């Protein structure tokens, strides 16, 4: 090979190297953008399937008709919570179709007359291994329903129910933000979220030994200053501290 040849190759070679760098950067940016689109956009769409409720239910209308939540969501004599209402809470009024609404027609014809309970999808339902007591929170700790459920109880329409295809759990447990950010107490209801509130409200429920002066200062002053609200759950609120502590919330 001649030097001319060598020389002739050397000059475009530099340009090719620069081009190579630019191509790598371009591919990096494209790949990064693609993974964002897949991770934040497509993955949640694939992970969750949307299931329609059997028919719409208007809370605002019924609160006016009935007057209070307790007519439909009440505590039984033994302290257990009735949860979603059964037909017994409806048939006083809906023995026959009252109005023009299509939802009411479906309800009366398909469920009331056939004496079938409505197969509601429960947004807040936890896995079977979790023990949750409404009495401890609503009666003892005097917490409002919206702390954990948001505004479902005053809404005019039920929101779409989304089910995780892998676990079968409701999306309300994992939350709508894939990154786990939350701005309200009811945005997600995972183990950490239960534990976060327990630690703040009742140190005793999580049986972790109380932190010392420095530890307490760190958690109360330093952590909130560094982390926004939604990240504090990640610090100092692990429930995995005491063996018996698991059986507060697990059966």
Nearer to ligand HEC, 89 or 177 (CB): 89
Query: Do 5 and 139 meet the contact criterion of CB atoms below 8 Å apart?
Result: no
Nearer to ligand HEC, 67 or 212 (CB): 67
Residues 6 or more apart whose Cβ sits within 8 Å of residue 143: 137
Q: State the minimum distance, in angstroms, from the CB of residue 180 to ligand HEC.
A: 11
Residues 1-40 touching ligand HEC, rule: CB under 6 A, are none
Residues 163-182 touching ligand HEC, rule: CB under 6 A, are 173
Q: State the minimum distance, in angstroms, from the CB of residue 16 to ligand HEC.
A: 53
The three-state secondary structure class of 182 is: coil
The answer to whether 92 contacts ligand HEC (rule: CB under 6 A) is yes
Rounded CA separation 181/231 (Å): 7
Candidates 35, 49, 50, 240: give the one binding ligand HEC (CB under 6 A): 240
Query: 132-153 in b/e burial notation, b at 16+ Cβ within 10 A?
Result: eebeebbeeeebebeebebebb
The answer to whether 73 contacts ligand HEC (rule: CB under 6 A) is yes
Radius of gyration of the chain (CA): 28
Q: State the minimum distance, in angstroms, from the CB of residue 60 to ligand HEC.
A: 9
Q: State the minimum distance, in angstroms, from the CB of residue 181 to ligand HEC.
A: 16
Residues in the chain, how many? Answer: 251
Rounded CA separation 134/144 (Å): 11
Number of amino acids touching ligand HEC (CB under 6 A): 77
Query: Do 245 and 206 meet the contact criterion of CB atoms below 8 Å apart?
Result: yes
Nearer to ligand HEC, 48 or 104 (CB): 104
Candidates 8, 13, 32, 65: give the one binding ligand HEC (CB under 6 A): 65
The answer to whether 42 contacts ligand HEC (rule: CB under 6 A) is no
The answer to whether 94 contacts ligand HEC (rule: CB under 6 A) is yes
Picking from 22, 25, 48, 9, the residue whose alpha carbon sits closest to that of residue 169 is 48
Residues 186-215 touching ligand HEC, rule: CB under 6 A, are 189-191, 193-195, 197-198, 201-202, 205
Query: Do 198 and 233 meet the contact criterion of CB atoms below 8 Å apart?
Result: no
Beta-bridged to residue 164, according to DSSP, are 48
> Mask: binding to ligand HEC, 103-142, rule CB under 6 A, as x and -?
xx--x------------xxxxxxxx-xxxxxx-xxx-xx-
Task: Pick the stretch among 4-12, 21-29, 34-42, 146-154 that binds ligand HEC (CB under 6 A).
Answer: 146-154
Rounded CA separation 183/232 (Å): 12
Residue nearest to ligand HEC (CB): 99
């Amino acid at each position: 090979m001649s030097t001319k040849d060598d020389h002739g190759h050397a000059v475009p070679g530099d340009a090719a190297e620069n081009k190579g760098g630019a191509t790598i950067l371009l591919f990096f940016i494209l790949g990064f953008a693609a993974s964002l689109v897949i991770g934040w956009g497509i993955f949640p769409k694939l992970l969750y399937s949307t299931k329609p409720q059997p028919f719409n239910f208007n809370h605002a209308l019924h609160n006016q008709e009935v007057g209070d939540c307790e007519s439909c969501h009440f505590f039984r004599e033994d302290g257990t919570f009735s949860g979603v209402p059964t037909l017994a809470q409806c048939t006083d009024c809906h023995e026959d179709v009252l109005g023009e609404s299509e939802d009411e027609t479906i309800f009366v014809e398909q469920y009331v007359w056939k004496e079938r309970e409505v197969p509601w999808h429960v947004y807040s339902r936890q896995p079977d291994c979790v023990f949750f007591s409404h009495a401890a929170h609503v009666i003892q700790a005097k917490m409002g329903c919206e702390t954990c459920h948001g505004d479902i109880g005053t809404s005019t329409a039920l929101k779409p129910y989304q089910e995780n295809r892998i676990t079968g759990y409701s999306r309300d447990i994992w939350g709508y933000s894939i990154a786990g950010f939350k701005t309200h107490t009811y945005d997600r209801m995972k183990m950490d979220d239960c534990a976060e509130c327990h630690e703040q409200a009742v140190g005793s429920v999580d049986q972790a030994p109380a932190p010392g002066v420095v530890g307490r200062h760190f958690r109360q002053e330093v952590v909130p200053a560094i982390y926004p609200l939604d990240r504090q759950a990640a610090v100092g609120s692990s429930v995995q501290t005491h063996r018996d502590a698991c059986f507060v919330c697990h059966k």
